[in-house]
């Protein structure tokens, strides 16, 4: 459903959509980084020596630890610097909640004997 060019959309919706798309894109990038790198580097010939980085296999360092740290830094930046705090308007009062049932309606008749 497309909106006409002269209609403006709610800025809260636009900010929410922008933030959601960025979260999904960053999640996809980190997912591809972890699964791609670990899938390519983690399954090597067992006869080859394992390269170490800071006491752990290098594929774990570059394929798990570094993406985890990068995702944490991205999350902190996203939460503290990117998310927009939109002013929310108070909700309109519910019209149906304030309406009472007229005494002649069928709902009022159900409570009487013989109805």
For residue 112, what pLDDT is reported?
A: 55
Residues 38-78 have pLDDT tens digits of 999 988 888 888 899 999 999 999 999 999 999 999 999 99
* pLDDT of 29 above 60: yes
3-state secondary structure of 57: strand
Residue 110: pLDDT band by 50, 70, 90 thresholds? low
- Of residues 27 and 99, more confidence is placed in 27
Burial class (CB in 10 A: 0-12, 13-18, 19+), 11: exposed
Q: Please state the pTM of the whole predicted model.
A: 0.64
- Of residues 3 and 87, more confidence is placed in 87
Q: What burial letters (b/e) apply to 90-99, b meaning 16+ CB within 10 Å? A: eeeeeeeeee
């Amino acid at each position: 459903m497309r909106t006409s060019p002269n209609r403006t959309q709610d800025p809260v919706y636009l900010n929410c959509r922008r933030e959601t798309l960025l979260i999904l894109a960053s999640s996809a990038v980190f997912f591809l980084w972890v699964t791609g790198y670990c899938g390519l580097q983690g399954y090597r010939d067992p006869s080859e020596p394992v390269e170490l980085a800071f006491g752990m296999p290098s594929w774990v360092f570059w394929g798990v630890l570094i993406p985890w740290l990068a995702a944490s830094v991205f999350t902190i930046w996203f939460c503290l610097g990117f998310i927009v705090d939109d002013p929310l308007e108070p909700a309109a009062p519910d019209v149906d909640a304030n309406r009472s049932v007229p005494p002649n309606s069928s709902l009022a008749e159900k409570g009487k004997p013989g109805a």
